[in-house]
Amino acid sequence: MIFSSIFLSVFGLFNLFGLNQSLFFRQLVYCLLAFIIYFVIKSVGRHFFQINSRFFYWFFIVVLLITYIVGIEVKGSRRWLDFYFIRFQASEFFKPFFITFLSQYLSDENIFKNDLTLFVRSFFYFFLPFFIIFKQPDLANAVTFLFIYLIIIFFSNIPKKYLTYFFGFIGLFFPLGWFILKDYQKLRIMSFFNPHLDIQGTAYNMIQSIITIGSGKFFGRGLGLGTQSRLYFLPENTTDFAFASLVEQFGFFGGFMVIFFYSLLIYFVTKRTIKFYFEKKEEGKAKFLFSLGLLSYLSFQVFINIGMNMGLLPVAGVALPFISYGGSSVLALLIGFALLP
């Protein structure tokens, strides 16, 4: 897992070097810091974070509220706290701690097991951060939390009849969700189904991403020679559409290698998840749910980001771990890997 993570980090750094050297050096610091924190957490041990999972949960809830109130505003969203040397995105850092708390809560033998109360409480613990993140607004990260919650809750000991009621409720009111979306979010979805609706507007990013990927051909244009990304025809070329920039520079071969190493990461986490599934003890249940949550987190972000870069999914602001520029994303995922049993 560490080998795959290092390879992806190096690939992401090379991609940034060909686009923006100043961002390259910042990301290099973030990556080094992330791997240092990984080994620190491994030495501390996951037991410390298990027994303090409730504290970390409420700590990040408070940080999310502070971010929503006084966080810096970028393109209409308040998602970051600016500490000068790093922009702290609480919604990213919260993910591994949310998974730790939820997996521990649902495997605890001392609470109302197999009871409606357990389900209602778990939903409250999910909905509180989901609502705050949605209001930032950050729909992509909010949906990531929803996906993680649904996967964990489905494989927990909660009776499936409550899940049936829950999914029925979502299905009944799902069409109403359209009316609470922001205008730009609606336009992104409409542009996905009809890219020619607004070629120079909401569909522009998706169209340019597809063109950028196609221009890379098999071996790419070379480091720093990608015209679509380097000349900024492709917006957000270091963050949301970093994969498209990478493929333009390193071609199909580079994109394939990135997907291959993501597949290795997903394989290793899946292997751990299956191993803990067959453990009957309470500790094994907590390990299984955490591994499953981490697997959901990693797979969802990789699938959504690469899918939108290739025009297979609507555009969403989901970071591609290790490849997209940003310290919060790589730090959060390596914290998750460090907490993996």
Contact present, 237 and 203 (Cβ < 8 Å): no
Q: How do residues 159-169 score in pLDDT, each as one tens digit?
A: 888 888 877 87
**Number of domains forming the structure of the chain:** 1
Q: Which domain holds residue 327?
A: 2-339
Task: Report the percentage of the chain scoring pLDDT > 70.
Answer: 89
The distance from CA 300 to its chain's CA centroid, rounded to whole angstroms, is: 7
Contact present, 301 and 201 (Cβ < 8 Å): no
C-alpha dihedral sign at 326, 329, 333, 334: positive
Q: What is the pLDDT of residue 322?
A: 93
Position 185 confidence tier, pLDDT thresholds 50, 70, 90: low
- Mean residue pLDDT of the chain comes to 87
C-alpha pair distances (Å), 6 with each of 3, 10, 12, 28, 261: 5, 6, 10, 12, 10
Q: How do residues 263-289 score in pLDDT, each as one tens digit?
A: 999 999 999 999 998 876 667 888 999
- From CA 208, how far away is CA 199, in angstroms rounded? 10
- From CA 280, how far away is CA 335, in angstroms rounded? 26
Position 196 confidence tier, pLDDT thresholds 50, 70, 90: low
